[in-house]
Amino acid sequence: MENDCLSILDKRTNTNYEVPFYKGTIRAMDLRKIKTGAEDFGLMTYDPAFMNTASCHSSITFIDGDKGILRYRGYPIEQLAEKCTFLEVAYLLICGELPTAEQLKAWVNKVTHHTMLHESTKHFLEGFRYDAHPMGMFISTVAALATIYPDARNIHDAESRRLQMYRLIGKVPTIAAYTYRHGLGYPYVYPDNDLSYTENFMNMLWRMAEPKYQANPVLARALDVLFILHADHEQNCSANVMRSVGSSQADPFVATAAAAAALSGPLHGGANEEVLRMLDEIGAKDHVPAYIKGIKEGKGKLMGFGHRVYKNYDPRARIIKQTAEQVFEITGKNSKLDIALELERIALEDEYFVKRKLYPNVDFYSGIIYQAMGFHPEMFTVLFAISRTAGWLAQWEEMVNDPEQKISRPRQIYTGHEIRDIVPMEKRGSSAISTSRP
């Protein structure tokens, strides 16, 4: 026991406790036995933003932030991006192994046959204003699917869970494409089952009057690679939301919508949209030094830089840079690339960024590619959400099957008033906070 436990001396009571190590951690519940007396609740840990708390076991994604390593189910992201399709990777994330040819065929077939949206969903989308943000439409529409598939509440049935996964992975590109066409005022294009996942998505986005849309194979593959890179990232903010909402046994549609809402924030998936705004604001390569000076003086953050886990180059950003070159050969170079490269060059040499280990993350270059392909910035986070749906579902499935998981419910350190009596209205002083509008 001596070497496989942590010895804690509580100086309040002069009591020594032995807390066993558990897979390189200690179980927070073991600290509860550290008490000052029978009335004491027991010791808790305080960890805002979960900076040092493992909330689950997971065998899906491995990240070594110091070395810049990302693996799904043990496979390096570089190999997956080179050798697999997005749907193959989605299978890997959810089922745990790469599919055989036969398994992949059946998986693709299932997903493809769930791409169609119920007509009432189409009408639901039509209710949004012409300028509604696509991410708001996406989140609401994914949640609305729960009303069409009430069987999704049957979360303890493995077969039912799998059916909802086919539905979600199949339908998110359709919803995304419809949000895009809604903004443009174009009629919606129904899915085409003869096409691959990304070709079908491109067809639903960009087909106009032609009888058959021909996606450029280089662009379709680039989109597939971007989907692979974004498919999962262990316990990030949105995966944590997926697990947390799912832990209440809510159905996977509303849990996915909640995860997508978390993704939409500018510190998470919304960063790709913000990067483009930032590059527009900078305007030209020679304005970069002044912009970086402003950031160092505390005027905002360099969007697309920094990461909670990576303290080295984000391996996804490296692959995206290569993908960008292939895309630009077809589309022509995005003029923002020069500004981005200059920003990266200066930031990586600058003491402020070096000291804080701030490197470009996945969002730094993805928006530049998406824009070159024809997407406007409001769509970028929706594209992220399409592929992350596979990761969220893998995290959800793992959580549902984990016997140790219960409803998520953190503790707090209460800092409010002690008990007090209500003062009658006429005796309340002016110190009460005003709730009237200015």
Give me the residues that bind ligand CMC (CB under 6 A), please.
236, 267-269, 271, 295, 301-308, 356, 358, 361-363
Residue whose beta carbon is closest to ligand CMC = 306
Task: Indicate the residue among 221 and 316 with the shorter CB distance to ligand CMC.
Answer: 316
Rank residues 27 and 356 by Cβ distance to ligand CMC and give the closer one. Answer: 356
**Nearest CA among 208, 178, 212, 205 for reference residue 373:** 205
Residue 199 or 378 with smaller CB distance to ligand CMC: 378
Minimum distance from residue 267 beta carbon to ligand CMC (Å) = 4
Closest separation between CB of residue 373 and ligand CMC, Å? 19
Q: What angle do CA 394, 84, 172 make, to 5 degrees?
A: 50
Instruction: Return d(Cα 116, Cα 174) in angstroms, integer.
Output: 7
Q: Which is nearer to ligand CMC, 191 or 306 (CB)?
A: 306
**If DSSP codes are grouped into helix, strand and coil, which group holds residue 71?**
strand
Q: Which is nearer to ligand CMC, 177 or 303 (CB)?
A: 303
CB of 327 to ligand CMC, least distance (A): 20
Beta pairing, strands 61-64 & 25-26: unpaired
For 114, list phi and psi in degrees, rounded to 5: -125, 25
Q: Please give the C-alpha separations between residue 316 and each of 248, 312, 319, in angstroms, as whole numbers.
A: 33, 11, 5
Terminal Cα distance for the chain, rounded: 64
Residue with tokens 């993704």: 263
**Half-sphere exposure (CA, 13 Å, Cβ side) for 104?**
15
Among candidate residues 30, 268, 286, 338, the one labeled active-site is 268
Is residue 363 flagged as an active site residue?
yes
Least Å distance, CB 230 to ligand CMC, is 8
Q: How far is the CB of 14 from ligand CMC (least distance, A)?
A: 37
Question: One of 64, 363, 402, 421 is an active-site residue; which one?
Answer: 363
Which of 182, 230, 233, 307 is catalytic? The answer is: 307
Q: Are 381 and 263 in contact (CB under 8 A)?
A: yes
Catalytic residues, by residue number, are 268, 307, 363
